[in-house]
Chains A and B, each alone.
Chain A
Amino acid sequence: MSEKKGRFGEHGGQYIPETLMNAVIELEEAYNRFKDDPEFNSELTKLFNDYAGRPSRLYYAEKMTKDLGGAKIYLKREDLNHTGSHKINNVLGQALLAKKMGKKRLIAETGAGQHGVATATAAALMGMECVVFMGEEDTKRQALNVYRMRLLGSQVIPVKTGTATLKDAVSEAMREWTRRIDDTHYCLGSVMGPHPFPTIVRDFQSVISKEIKAQMLEAEGRLPDAVIACVGGGSNAMGSFYNFIEDSKVRLIGCEAAGRGIDTFETAATIATGRSGIFHGMKSYFCQDKYGQIAPVYSISAGLDYPGIGPEHAWLHDTKRAEYIPVTDEEAVCAFEYLSKTEGIIPAIESAHAVSAAMKIAKEYTPENSIVITISGRGDKDCAAIARYRGEDIHE
């Protein structure tokens, strides 16, 4: 897949300060030691099943299928996991690994708060200290999640620099890691950052596609025709795609946050509007100006509000193995409301971006075909913001 260690084509790498180099080398060595270790894997599987509630359901959305009049629609219900999103998969894996490495403290960045809540949860479970960095803007958009993290015993540090959103939270978590390395593991939340994070996070999230594959074979006796997931950094999408990469007939569709539109400055659609760059430890695609200054991106979804994309997605784009399409705020909100009314499932606004794309392409198929949409998280956290978007002011 890649010629050099930690590379996906030309993307990936380890563009980080020297201070962090031994930490990522130590992490890579530990991961290589434990990833095929039967004891580690049986502990992790037990956590996945007994604690997080895996395997997550693959639900046939019959009403939605009839209404859209094309492919059969299946929903991969990551929203039903403990803590309400796919983030728990990666966090349980990394926390267990960190514990084996003798680390006593987890730090994390968070956008919508889902990864922060998952990390705070794993830290509580495993008796580790936890500090979560969250853009100040996002602490306002997702106040409930801030409270949840504190309730779980974590410290939440609002990040005021830059645009005070996800990218600034990542920068601040990286800075904190350079301050304190010995006892601290940086539990990065997406398939991004320096090697080995994109690989580790993808591997822990790949349980999603592993399950989809088995569940689809059981339900339909064949693989799906398309798998659709939303992409910020891209962890739920990478997890949903990974075990299908070799199955060239399965379309892989990533949905980026277009914000107010890709022809505006208020967008976070990296593949549609970005270009190759080096940031946050990796070479990949980034929204930036002509001098390489990182663009202040925007999306209604705090979880997709990131100016870059994981390096393996950049490579899947280059090789045309996956398609990346922009979905606007308005389209996502419509899909958020649609899935709620049609199936009685309130998706995270992030996942609603994937639902929107499915609503558009379902008609390209017949009922013999099937599409899987990964519902990466549940939408309770978004209700107040969507109400505001529709001009209704409710108090949480």
Chain B
Amino acid sequence: MSNIGKAFENGKAFIPFITCGDPDMETTEKIILEATANGADLIELGIPFSDPTAEGPVIQAANDRALKNGASTDRIFDMVHSIRDEVDVPLVFMTYANVVYSYGSERFISSCSRIGIDGLILPDLPFEEKDEFAPLCRQYGIDLISLIAPTSKDRVAMIAKNAEGFLYIVSSLGVTGTRSVIDTDLSSIIKTVRENTDIPCAIGFGISKPEQASQMAAIADGAIVGSAIIKIMEKYKKESPKHVGEYVRSMKNAVMSVDK
């Protein structure tokens, strides 16, 4: 099992997403350390993209702020490299295919390996296009994380069979963002996943409250939260690390309560 498997050894996993460089790289560093100290099991680090077509307004705005404040792929690589020794949980990048491709796919993926990144999530890279990056990811030991959507239907088994690291189960139709109700039949999707792979699966999109996180953790191996954390970062800016830490603690407690 890859390093990502470790994220799921400590009970149900809580996975926060943050956009790197929002509001600046120093704050991102502190948020990563706070989130880890407060029980985050894996951290998704967003490399901002100018036109993030899978994101709702909250993360779109975070991407814009980060880019405006000078975030770039190279600066994010440097930041991750500088703190990697202090962070003992798996780290994955989440970004868009063009950020990887345009940098030079091999240059990007080999850099990930060098700075201690464990996986890559690309929401605009479906199963059919995996080969764009999969051979390089394999070569450099980076897990290319697959996503399963409520509309995947007959594709679930195929995606699950070929999955690496963990499976990202998209809870709802539409883009990222908090939702009051998640009404997709996730249990049956996860049942099909379990029949086809031993790889852990985590649910993301729409989760913001502890109750939602524990509901999701009850049927999956973990919960992923993005927009709710970005809202905290948007509100507290440079002061956000402490608040994100508190939030991560409450969410980790919520998912852990499921194990009891």
A22 touches B102 (CB 8 A): no
Q: Report the contact-size class of chain A (Cβ under 8 Å from the partner).
A: 35 or more
Q: Which of A139-147, A216-224, A285-293, A332-340 contacts B (4 or more CB under 8 A)?
A: A285-293
CB-CB nearest in chain B for A22: B151
Known A-B contacts A277-B102, A278-B98, A292-B103; A21 and B73 likewise in contact (beta carbons under 8 Å): no
B50 touches A294 (CB 8 A): yes
Binding site secondary structure of chain A: mixed
Q: Check: B210 CB closer than 8 A to any chain A CB.
A: no
The contact of A291 among B103, B146, B152, B174, by CB within 8 Å, is B103
* Complex Cα spacing A181 to B57, Å: 20
Cβ of B177 to closest chain A Cβ, rounded Å: 10
Interface of chain B residues 129 through 160 with chain A (CB within 8 A): 129, 132, 146-155, 159
Interface size of B by CB at 8 A reads: 43
Interface segment among B1-9, B118-126, B241-249: the answer is B118-126
A171 touches B51 (CB 8 A): yes
| Complex contact A14–B126 (CB within 8 A) | yes
Complex interface: chain B residues within 8 A of A275 (CB): 102
Q: How long is the Cα–Cα vector from A322 to B151 in the complex, in angstroms?
A: 39
In whole angstroms, what is the CA distance A290 to B151 when docked?
35
Q: A180-B173, A291-B72, A292-B101 are in contact. Are A18 and B147 (CB under 8 A)?
A: yes
User: Is B53 an interface residue, CB under 8 A from the partner?
Assistant: yes
Q: Are B152 and A21 in contact (CB under 8 A)?
A: yes
Whole-angstrom CA separation of A22 from B153 in the bound complex: 8
Interface contact B174-A178, CB-CB below 8 Å = yes
Measured in the bound complex, the distance between the Cα atoms of B170 and A171 in whole Å is: 19
Tell which of A181, A278, A293, A294 touches B173, judged by Cβ atoms closer than 8 Å.
A181
Interface locus among A69-77, A114-122, A161-169: A161-169
Chain B residue at minimum C-beta to C-beta distance from A296: B50
User: With a CB–CB cut-off of 8 A, which chain A residues contact B128?
Assistant: 13-14, 21
**Do residues A162 and B103 form an inter-chain contact, with CB atoms below 8 A?**
no
Task: Evaluate contact between A162 and B101: CB separation under 8 angstroms.
Answer: no
Is B203 in the interface zone, CB < 8 Å from A?
Answer: no
Q: Are A292 and B102 in contact (CB under 8 A)?
A: yes
A residues in contact with B150, CB < 8 Å: 19
Q: Is A23 an interface residue (CB 8 A)?
A: yes
Partner of A15, one of B51, B56, B129: B129
| Residues on the A chain within 8 Å of B132, using CB | 13, 15, 278
Q: In the complex the two chains form, is A168's CB within 8 Å of B51's CB?
A: yes
Residues of A within 8 A of B146 (CB): 18
Closest Cβ neighbor of A19 among chain B residues: B149
> Does A325 lie at the interface of the complex (its beta carbon under 8 Å from any beta carbon of B)?
no
Residues of chain B with a CB closer than 8 A to A288's CB:
98, 102
What residues of chain A have their CB less than 8 Å away from a CB belonging to chain B? Answer: 13-23, 161-162, 167-168, 171, 174-175, 178-181, 275-281, 283, 286, 288, 290-294
